Structure formats: structure tokens, C-alpha cells
Amino acid sequence: MSQLKVNSIVPVGGLPSGSNGGIIQVVQTFKNDATSTTSNTFVDLAGMSATITPSSNSNKILVRFSLCLSTSTEALIIINLLRGSTNIAQPSTTPTRHGTAISFVGEISQMMQGYEFLDSPATTSATTYKLQWRNHLAGYTSKLNEYFSVSDGDYATTSTLTLMEVTT
């Protein structure tokens, strides 16, 4: 005989009144091809945007990204997170070079840049989140999901952008 034991069942529309923190919707963008930029000003990171429609304007969106980055030489890659056309998750100071995340990548190496941010969009309209990137100096090439072929085989990677609606 089978048994099903639970502490509670969460309704599709969110948690019962007085509770919070349940994830009720997940949207993910998965990028498995390579792209690059030589720009030292922010440009959209191709394929790294996702749209979610919150069910309540008091709910929050947990934004997570995981990027596999590499460069042509040792360099900094600067990432910005945007809601629509507005930069979010920015430092409190505004130096000349700033971003949501900054990665130092060594020559002929790859690194995973992970990040998460809990946003309060205060809307029930479709909301698009996207990533932008740039090189810290002109003359460099930043790469996402670079394909490597070395003596013992071929290697490729993937990146993701995930949006989760969290009830409040």
C-alpha cells in the first residue's frame, strides 16, 4: 500500500495568506552556442534574455544567471543585469567602470560566473530581464560558451538565465 504524506499543499496562485517565499513560476533561457564581443561599451548578450509575467505586483523575481566566460587575453568582462531597459543590481557607488558582476578571466581559460538577485518589479505585466556585457578595454574579445579543441578532445559549455517568481 502507498502513502502520501505532506505538511501542506501550496495552491497554484501562491501560498496561503500569512505565509511567503514559495516559488510559483520558473522561466529559463538556455544558451548552448558560442558568441563573442569586442565592444568596450555595453551591448546585449545575444540569447540571454527571458520574460516573466508576475501574478501579483507584490511578488518578487529571483534572477539567477550562470555564464561560461573566456577572453582572448587576460581581461575583465563586465556584466550588467537589466529589467527592461533599466540597470538593476548596481553598486551603490558609480565609478567610471561598474556593473552587476565583473569577471577576471585568464588567457586560454574559462570561468563560470554565477549570480543571483531578488528583484521587486512591482507589476503584473510581462517583464523582460536581459544581460549585457562589455570588455574593460578596447581591443579585447570576450567569449561566451567558447568551443575548445585540444589534444585529448573537444570541449563546449552552456549558460543559463533563470527567472523565478517568489510569493510574498
More confident residue, 111 or 82: 82
Span 113-142, pLDDT tens digits:
899 999 999 999 999 999 999 988 888 888
Q: Residue 97: is its pLDDT beyond 60? A: no
Confidence of residue 64 (pLDDT cuts 50, 70, 90): very high
Q: How far apart are CA 158 and CA 61, in angstroms?
A: 23
pLDDT at 41 over 80: yes
Fold of the 23-148+156-166 domain:
Jelly Rolls (2.60.120)
Point out which residues pair with 69 in neighbouring strands: 111, 144
Pick the closest to residue 147 from 37, 46, 70, 48 (CA basis).
70
Please tell me which residue, 161 or 98, carries the higher pLDDT value: 161
* pLDDT at residue 18 in the model: 61
Domain boundaries, the chain: 23-148+156-166
pTM (predicted TM-score): 0.83
Contacts of residue 58, defined as CB under 8 A and 6 or more positions apart, other chains included, come to 122, 168
Model pLDDT, residue 140: 87
